[in-house]
Chain A
Amino acid sequence: MATVTLQNVRKSFGKTDVIHGIDLDIADGEFIVIVGPSGCGKSTLLRMVAGLETVTSGEVKIGGRLVNDVEPMDRDIAMVFQNYALYPHMSVFDNMAYGLKIAKTPRSEIEERVASAAELLQLEPYLHRKPRELSGGQRQRVAMGRAIVRKPAVFLFDEPLSNLDAKLRVQMRLEIKALQRKLGVTALYVTHDQVEAMTLADRMVVMNSGVADQIGKPLEVYADPQTAFVGGFIGSPPTNFLNAGLIPGLATGNTIGIRPEHLTLRADGRLQTTVAYTEALGAETLIHCRLPDGNQITARQDATQRIPAEGESIGITWNDGDAMLFDAGGRRTGQV
């Protein structure tokens, strides 16, 4: 168990800068999720912590020790890969034991550690199978087992659930969280899925084009996004962005963002809209409306409320405190 510290970490491939200086302090036992769209540099950042990519400048410290030039195996980390990267010709047991064998761990201890990891992950019946004889979820567990047996200080996860179907993804998400709590190991987890980020993270890092736009607790990030990008990326359906010029008293060029759940439909709203179409999801209903300027805005309401007909003309309103103001560069400048 250890802290992880990134100080002004940068990465360039040739002349292209992909990470523009990231600072991050991870506490012992903390679960950090790095979330962002593909190509934002999140995997590169993780791979720099793993030692699979060199650090162009800045410092990576694990447990207070500078590890910029330390080989992956000596960093006291374990990694779960997106495609699991199981050794196809080895049994489940051998897959988990491989790292320990290289470290010349005594045979009895290897067996003990693999057995306890297998028990934890309910893999005991499969120890002698080959990866190709396992289901996707089981392979995922083996990949985690391989990480667990090393008893690392830090777990690194690179989109570990993206190859699973939706149902399994939810289940494995819960298992990963429970496991991390149980073992108390520091975890760094990369995903493009904001739901995973919200549910797993103690704190999350929202990355955008090689920059950490915001670092914070999931609900804080959700409630108080620091950039328009974060506001748009976190939350589903995404935050509505309106040209501030539509609202009396606000300067054009700025943008206001309002979350769908903060919009209320009322005959006498602040803005007059037309209902384009509605999606009744059971517990809630999404109402997509067209603004006079042609843009679309989405409101979310409880299923108990009346669902307006498509084509109906209706007003829309919100509380001032729920409208977030962003400047032309997408920076948050405050509430309305």
Chain B
Amino acid sequence: MAERNGMVEKRGAGLWLTHLGLIIGVLFIFFPIWLAFVASTVTQADIVRPPMPLLPGDQFFTNYGRALTSGVNAPVATMLLNSMAMALGIAVGKIAISLLSAFAIVYFRFPLRKLFFWLIFLTLMLPVEVRIVPTYEVIANFGMLNSYQGLILPLIASATATFLFRQFFMTVPDELAEAARVDGAKPMRFFFDILLPMSRTNIAALFVILFIYGWNQYLWPLLITTDPDMNTIVMGIKQMFPSGDDTADWPVIMATSILAMVPPVLVVVGMQRLFVRGLVESEK
């Protein structure tokens, strides 16, 4: 290895400078999170008399306990549950409808196929933020304000996943479907027995991306969840800041911020390889 790259690879001081540069980068990325973590383990008094300490204190269990059970407006445990429902709902829902429609579009020839194809792909990349007021009205008319359906449904109306699955299905050799036909498999049998297991990696990678997408939503839950018990954690943090001149309850807010990061970070780190592959491939 060293031989092969010897020509270009830096040695000695150069190598250490490279590491130094990267470590500074890592510190820049980490510092805000570290500070939030420290703030979530000290008392309010430690924070409001700046400068606050840079090493963790002993209030970890107190602060997190307070956040999870009572929070400021609603217990953070409830908000975590809502976020989980929303993220899972979006990830699973979007993957399910996309798999089905991509299967139909790739493997069948039926009337209006081209029209459906374009209807679906027109939605590619048009974020919910653009049509926010009328979408809000639709949800309100359906009585879906403060509901999981309201949180989830508008966000699965997008073609990214359909597009990815279509691309993948096109690469599946024709002979596999023919072999399945000769073996006597009907379309749905082929879908469940052959196509779905073959798509495992794509599904998993997409799941990571969509889970994070759903978990990190902000504007949409802000609009349609007026009931604190339906708040998601990411939007709920802002609601914890007092209006006016009151001092914010920083330890609890920072504990909540850390809690808001833990599930998506675990998903990203735990499924790093799938995620990197899925990200780089799906955006191609």
Q: Contact: A85 with B184, CB < 8 Å?
A: no
Q: Does B262 contact A (CB under 8 A)?
A: no
Q: Does A302 contact B (CB under 8 A)?
A: no
Q: Contact: A79 with B197, CB < 8 Å?
A: no
- Encoded as 1 (CB less than 8 Å from any B CB) or 0, chain A from 76 to 88 comes to 0111011111111
Residue of B nearest to A147 (CB): B182
Q: Does A102 contact B (CB under 8 A)?
A: yes
Q: Contact: B178 with A73, CB < 8 Å?
A: no
Across the interface, which residues of A come within 8 angstroms of B189, CB to CB? Answer: 102
| Contacts A98-B193, A102-B189 given; does A85 touch B178 at CB 8 Å | yes
Q: Contact: A102 with B185, CB < 8 Å?
A: yes
Across the interface, which residues of A come within 8 angstroms of B181, CB to CB? Answer: 51-52, 71-73
Across the interface, which residues of A come within 8 angstroms of B197, CB to CB? Answer: 89
In the complex, how many angstroms separate the beta carbon of B126 from the nearest chain A beta carbon?
A: 35
- State how many residues of chain A have any CB contact under 8 Å with chain B: 25
Across the interface, which residues of B come within 8 angstroms of A50, CB to CB? Answer: 178, 182
CA distance A53 to B178 in the complex (A): 10
Across the interface, which residues of B come within 8 angstroms of A85, CB to CB? Answer: 173, 175-176, 178-179
Q: Contact: A87 with B184, CB < 8 Å?
A: no
Q: Does A281 contact B (CB under 8 A)?
A: no
Q: Does B9 contact A (CB under 8 A)?
A: no
Across the interface, which residues of B come within 8 angstroms of A86, CB to CB? Answer: 179
Residues 82-114 of A at the B interface (beta carbon under 8 Å) = 82-89, 98-99, 102-103
Q: Does B194 contact A (CB under 8 A)?
A: yes
Residue of B nearest to A75 (CB): B182
CA distance A46 to B178 in the complex (A): 13
In the complex, how many angstroms separate the beta carbon of A105 from the nearest chain B beta carbon?
A: 11
CA distance A72 to B175 in the complex (A): 13
Q: Contact: B178 with A81, CB < 8 Å?
A: yes
CA distance A85 to B180 in the complex (A): 9
Interchain pairs with CB closer than 8 A, number: 60
Across the interface, which residues of A come within 8 angstroms of B48, CB to CB? Answer: none
Residue of B nearest to A152 (CB): B182
Across the interface, which residues of A come within 8 angstroms of B175, CB to CB? Answer: 81-85
Across the interface, which residues of A come within 8 angstroms of B178, CB to CB? Answer: 50, 52, 72, 79, 81, 85
Q: Contact: A81 with B179, CB < 8 Å?
A: yes
In the complex, how many angstroms separate the beta carbon of A85 from the nearest chain B beta carbon?
A: 4
Q: Contact: A87 with B182, CB < 8 Å?
A: no
Q: How large is the interface on B (under 10, 10 to 19, 20 to 34, 35 or more residues)?
A: 10 to 19
Partner of A99, one of B173, B176, B183, B194: B183
| Contacts A81-B179, A82-B175, A83-B173 given; does A99 touch B198 at CB 8 Å | no
- Encoded as 1 (CB less than 8 Å from any B CB) or 0, chain A from 49 to 79 comes to 0111000000000000000000111100111
Q: Contact: B173 with A73, CB < 8 Å?
A: no
Across the interface, which residues of B come within 8 angstroms of A88, CB to CB? Answer: 198
Across the interface, which residues of A come within 8 angstroms of B200, CB to CB? Answer: 89
CA distance A71 to B190 in the complex (A): 15
- Encoded as 1 (CB less than 8 Å from any B CB) or 0, chain A from 143 to 167 comes to 0001000100000000000000000
CA distance A102 to B182 in the complex (A): 11
Residue of A nearest to B193 (CB): A98
Residues 172-222 of B at the A interface (beta carbon under 8 Å) = 173, 175-176, 178-185, 189, 193-194, 197-198, 200
Residue of A nearest to B184 (CB): A73
Q: Contact: B182 with A103, CB < 8 Å?
A: no
Partner of B179, one of A51, A79, A103: A79
CA distance A72 to B198 in the complex (A): 23
Across the interface, which residues of B come within 8 angstroms of A102, CB to CB? Answer: 183-185, 189
Residue of B nearest to A84 (CB): B175
Q: Which 8 residue pairs are nearest across A and B when measured between Cβ atoms?
A: A73-B184, A85-B175, A99-B183, A85-B179, A89-B197, A102-B184, A81-B175, A72-B182
Other A-B pairs, 11, CB within 8 Å; known A52-B178, A82-B175, A88-B198: A72-B178, A72-B184, A73-B183, A79-B179, A81-B175, A81-B178, A85-B173, A85-B176, A85-B179, A102-B183, A102-B184
Q: List 7 A-B contacts (CB under 8 A).
A: A52-B181, A72-B184, A73-B184, A74-B184, A79-B178, A87-B180, A146-B179
